[in-house]
Amino acid sequence: MKTDLLRFVSLEELSLAAAERVIEYANQAIKERGVFNVALAGGSTPRGLYDVLSSSGYQSKTDWSCWRIYFGDERLVPLTDSRSNYAMAKEHLLDNVPISGEHIYMPPVHLLDARNVAMKYERTIKGNFGNASSIPRLDLILLGLGSDGHTASLFPDMPALEVTDRLVTYSSPGVLPPPVERVTFTLPFINAARHILFLASGEDKPEAFKAAYYGTPLGLVKRVPASMVNPKDGDIRWLVTAELTT
């Protein structure tokens, strides 16, 4: 597994660089397999990336009809709720690029029960990959980093981190807001990806970044989820703003 680390002076520069890489991954996948399977990240850091991809200069950089959109995690709130990762992606990307709604695969959060949502979402994903027995390989999974070392909705020392026989599982709220139930990709599904792009920024992130990237301790956390992302046949790129590494 190859890991690159790129530092940027601003979130704006990070977002521009991230957009270039996403397009690279997309066009490589489309060339090789005719489709680009990508999982979006939630939170606030990816907004800038999504805005860049939505800009006029990017409309003709890729064949959007080949994109297939997934969500690495989602909060169990209505899709119109401001805490919804889908709602953020819809505003900053999906409403602004020509991706058909039938190519956007969201967890069925309306089902409310987290176990059921996770199971149904997993069934959708498996169905899209021919219900093969092997773990589906997404071309790209975008991930963020929480100050507690979480990524997607895999929170430190929580049961979801131990799930190895599923693609999608459910998670109780972590210590960071919003305190809502979630569904999340599992580590085995994340680690099956061809490419991982971590986008991390924020004054509260340096310790979490060091723990994730260098394996240093993070308070009393026994297992730092972001440090466990380790795709066996894929690569990881970290795009961070400079305050994380000073």
Question: With respect to ligand 6PG, which residue has the nearer C-beta, 43 or 234?
Answer: 43
Minimum distance, C-beta of residue 114 to ligand 6PG, in the bound complex (Å): 14
Question: With respect to ligand 6PG, which residue has the nearer C-beta, 136 or 149?
Answer: 149
Question: With respect to ligand 6PG, which residue has the nearer C-beta, 29 or 239?
Answer: 239
Minimum distance, C-beta of residue 26 to ligand 6PG, in the bound complex (Å): 20
DSSP 178: P
Chain positions contacting ligand 6PG, by CB under 6 A? 41-45, 73, 75, 85, 144-146, 150-153, 202
Minimum distance, C-beta of residue 143 to ligand 6PG, in the bound complex (Å): 7
3-state DSSP of 110-172: HHCCHHHHHHHHHHHHHHHCCCCCCCCCCCEEEECCCCCCCECCECCCCHHHHCCCCCEEEEC
Minimum distance, C-beta of residue 240 to ligand 6PG, in the bound complex (Å): 11
State which residue has the least CB distance to ligand 6PG. 144
Question: With respect to ligand 6PG, which residue has the nearer C-beta, 66 or 183?
Answer: 183
Biggest CA–CA distance in the chain, Å, is 48
What is the Cα–Cα distance from 169 to 147, expressed in whole angstroms? 22
Pairing mode of beta strands 2-8, 36-40: unpaired
Which residues have CB under 8 Å from 102's CB, separation 6+? Answer: none
What is the Cα–Cα distance from 37 to 105, expressed in whole angstroms? 10
> Do 77 and 86 contact (CB within 8 A), yes or no?
no
Minimum distance, C-beta of residue 132 to ligand 6PG, in the bound complex (Å): 26
Question: With respect to ligand 6PG, which residue has the nearer C-beta, 43 or 136?
Answer: 43
Reading the block at residue 207, the tokens are: 């310790």
What is the Cα–Cα distance from 76 to 78, expressed in whole angstroms? 7
Question: With respect to ligand 6PG, which residue has the nearer C-beta, 145 or 239?
Answer: 145
Minimum distance, C-beta of residue 40 to ligand 6PG, in the bound complex (Å): 9
